Amino acid sequence: MEILHIAEEDDWLDACVSGFYRVSTRGATLDDVGFIHASTRAQLPAVARFVHADNARPLVVLVMDDDEVRAAGIDLRFEDGGAGELYPHLYGAIRPEFVWDVLPARFDENGVLAY
C-alpha cells in the first residue's frame, strides 16, 4: 500500500544528505512525537489543509510503499487520528531509499493541495 508524507522541501533535501528524515509533522520531530505522521492518498488533502494551509515554504509529497518500510524494520502502524480514522504512523526515521517518488506540492487557488 502506498503511504505519503508532506515535507518541507528543505527538510527533505537535508535528509537526502544526512540519510534520515526525522520530521514528524510541521514543527515537531520524530523525537518530539515518537513517530512520523503519514497518510494514504485519500487522506492527504485533509492533512495538507490541517497542517500546511498557511505554510509558505516549498512542500513536497514523499511517496513510499508500506511493505518496503516494514521490510527495513520500521514499525508502521495504522492508528486512530482522533476521529476513528486510521492513519499510518512510522515509528522510525524515513530513509531516502524508502521514498520511490518525491512530488512537488503547492496549494492551488481553491486551497487544495496540488501535487
pLDDT digits (tens, 9 = 90+) for 93-112: 999 999 999 999 999 888 88
Strand partners, 30: none
**pLDDT over 90 (residue 60):** yes
**How would you classify the pairing of strands 75-80 and 28-29?**
unpaired
Question: Beta-strand (E) ranges in the chain?
Answer: 2-8, 23-25, 28-29, 36-37, 59-65, 75-80, 86-91, 99-107, 113-114
Q: Quick one: cell of 53?
A: 494551509
Compute the average pLDDT of residues 42-68: 94
**pLDDT over 90 (residue 113):** no
Q: Residue 34: its pLDDT value, please?
A: 98
- Decide which of 3.40.50.620, 3.20.170.20, 3.40.140.10, 1.10.3720.10 is the CATH code for 2-114: 3.20.170.20
Q: Residue 82: its pLDDT value, please?
A: 84
Neighbours of 24 (CB within 10 A): 20
Rounded distance between C-alpha atoms, residue 78 and residue 100, angstroms: 21
Rounded distance between C-alpha atoms, residue 53 and residue 34, angstroms: 24
**pLDDT over 90 (residue 83):** no
Query: Model-level pTM greater than 0.85?
Result: yes
- Which residue would you say has higher pLDDT here, 111 or 63? 63
- Buried residues in 72-101 as b, exposed as e (16+ CB within 10 A): eebebeeeebeeeeebbbbebbbbeebbee
Strand partners, 5: 62
7-49 pLDDT tens trace:
999 999 999 999 999 999 999 999 999 999 999 999 999 999 9
